Structure 1
């Protein structure tokens, strides 16, 4: 029995305990839901801001592409034009969008190349650069018109050459007068009736030699002053090497100088003036032969490297003094007492007129001179450059 005056605690019903636990859990879940809602809202705002920033960047890039002074063309993985800015449309014409790049080449590009540049059918010159799209298949093409730049380069180069010749007019007069005076001296002896036939033939040969020197000097002067080849023809540079070597065969054999022509298998064509290039090679071979005092060797060959061909003349002669190497290709710079100083200047002018360059390299014994010319591009080369084939 219960003791009077004392209260007994009743135990909680199981259902009430469950309800109380569910209420507590609900509170925790609702608090967690509010936290997740806040996080989702924050992430959504951040994502929206990121998308807006990307849209602004894309808009700026699109405006930049439209404003670029160069043509921009976007190709998909099948080589079809998907995008093009106004400059590209102006250069390549329409239709352009949704057109296979191969068809654009056939329609817009001239089949004959222009040195290292590409020529459009309207005569304008452009350069072409490519880069991949990145993660997606396709390419971006960048076309830069260089017509006016090439014209200005040509005019500046010609002006520089004419200025050089103007500054050295007195030197030229001396160079012309010397062989001319010698020729006159020898021919004046031919009127002597008592002159033996042997001497007469000797004077004739010497007079002709001086006149040929004068002819070569005038030819070099004209080649240097012009320094341009126009559109020119396609030809194998190896043929120029063979033609340039031929006049030296007899004189080299007489002096025990071995003239070696190598690289007959060198492939590739260049575009320009083969006669002018032969004259430049003739100057290099002439210098090489003159640099050898006794028996020696002159090696002439062609070698294709990447998109260029090197025409090389090597000798084991005296070489070029270190003090003279810096001005070696400057007009009227010479290391020989009987030199006119135009031979190597003509070599460089001819090389540059063909879109190339001339180089000198000292060897342990002798010298190496190189004319590097770009190989002629074709329409197929332009297709391969952008992966359209």
Structure 2
């Protein structure tokens, strides 16, 4: 039996007292089927859909709305939206609008005019942290008194994170682009300084044989050595800076991260031994391969291990663990250092921010850039006095998504 059109349904409902028991049963069954159809459609939506009264009482909620608000099936019905999301009512100014629309609309009036279309964003902490966009639009129902409103809830957590990340990338890119010229200009005088310091040093060595001037020569030579050390330090800062602003696209090839990590640890073995750092590496057998640039990932491992070593006193402990799930391969580097202050955690990836004496503040920024270009992520957890854990996440080769150029 075909569904009843609204005009036909209105005519039938207007004569419902004239229907016999058979037609009445058919009508009820048809209405039940249509209700089930529309329920199924609304429950397939990823957006949460609510229908609320002027007082905020929820009269309908689809499955996505229950999931977003962390409520069991059908538990939202009868509850006030304002109690579930504190502060939302004041933000929307619903209280005044609800009072204005509490009386039934008169004939010819647009009952929904009392409530304007509104949109807001808010954060939920349960059942998990997320950002939700709310879109409220009123609608008039000729069979109801006061106008009701439809509320559409959209989870925009990932979109917001992507937007913030894009803004941060653009901000960093603009800073680095502006400073690239400065780095180039600094490089030329540094080269000139180095050459002339070397020439002066050679002349001083020739004069060192003259007894009366020997003491003065030694004093000048000490000053020159200090100048050379400072020039070398500045050159190192510029070198790291240029690595950060002139990234090469990764040459992605199938890579076993466990084997690459073993190579890096073997290369750093002498430095680790000199500092009496105990390294415990637990590499999962048969670690899933990833698509990676070996040289760039080697640089990531070097930077992360170097930071961990410099954060620990002699005799420290560095523990490295690898594992994988269906989506990614993970490497966790846990040191026994002093940890990072909470106020410094949010600034770790900013250019030139460093907590180490003599640091240039670009190492972690380079690591973050390389990880992003590999489709991966870097996470840092730290507590003062307990140490720091740096986790690298690489997408598995068989689960990697290739983005097409626009």
- The counterpart of 2:276, out of the listed 243, 248, 256, is 256
Which deviations, in whole Å up to 9, do the C-alpha atoms of 1:309-348 show, x marking residues without a partner?
2222222223223331110111211011211110011111
Aligned to 2:259: 239
Residues 69-90 of structure 1 deviation map (CA, whole Å, 9 limit, x = unaligned): xxxxxxxxxxxxxxxxxxxxxx
2:54 corresponds to 1:43: no
- Max Rg structure: 1
1:7-156 equivalence runs, <5 A? 38-48=20-30
For the pair 1:271 / 2:308, whether they are aligned, the reply is: no
Note the C-alpha offset of 1:172.
5.3
Structure 2 counterpart SS, 1:298: strand
SS across alignment from 2:393 = strand
CA distance in structure 1 between the partners assigned to 2:264 and 2:239 by the alignment: 15
What is the DSSP-based 3-state SS (H/G/I as helix, E as strand, rest coil) of the residue aligned with 1:250?
helix
SS of the residue corresponding to residue 377 of structure 1 reads helix
Distance 1:158 1:365, change over 3 A: closer
- Aligned partner (choices 359, 368, 372) of residue 389 of structure 2: 368
* Shift in Å, 1:354: 1.1
The question of whether the paired residues in 2 share the 8 Å contact of 1:263 and 1:303 is answered with: yes
Compute the TM-score of the two structures, normalised by the length of structure 2. Answer: 0.48
Q: Contact 1:319–1:365 (CA<8 Å) still a contact in 2?
A: yes
Deviation at 1:161, TM superposition (A): 3.2
Task: Report the CA distance between 1:295 and its aligned residue.
Answer: 2.3
How far did residue 284 of structure 1 move? 1.1
Of 351, 354, 357, the match for 1:331: 351
CA RMSD between the two structures: 4.6
2 CA distance for matches of 1:255 and 1:293?
8
Work out whether 1:310 is the aligned partner of 2:310.
no
2:190·2:231 contact (CA, 8 Å) conserved in 1? yes
2:174 equivalent in structure 1: 163
The higher relative CO (CA closer than 8 Å, separation ≥ 6) is in 1
Partner residue, 2:398: 377
* SS of residue paired to 2:324: strand
SS of match in other structure, 1:369: strand
Could you report, residue by residue, the CA deviation over 1:30-54 in whole angstroms, capped at 9, with x for unpaired residues? Answer: xxxxxxx931122123334555777
What is the SS of the residue equivalent to 1:40?
helix
Give matches, 1:142-221, under 5 Å.
Answer: 159-166=170-177, 187-188=198-199, 189=201, 193=205, 217=237, 220-221=240-241
3-state SS, counterpart of residue 392 of structure 2 = strand
Determine if contact 1:252/1:258 at 8 Å carries over to the other structure.
yes
Which range moved further: 240-249 or 44-53?
Answer: 44-53
Quick one: distance in 2 between partners of 1:234 and 1:153?
A: 31
From the superposition, tell whether residues 45 and 361 of structure 1 become closer, same or farther in structure 2 (CA, over 3 Å): closer
Structure 1 residue 238: Cα displacement: 1.6
1:290 alignment counterpart: 310
- Between Structure 1 and Structure 2, how many residues are aligned? 248
Q: Is the 8 A contact 2:334 2:389 kept in 1?
A: yes
Task: Tell me, in whole angstroms, the C-alpha distance in 1 between the residues paired with 2:188 and 2:340.
Answer: 27
Q: 1:351 aligns with which of 365, 371, 381?
A: 371
Q: Cα gap change, 1:367/1:154 in structure 2, threshold over 3 Å: closer, same or farther?
A: closer
Superposition TM-score, scaled by structure 1 size: 0.50
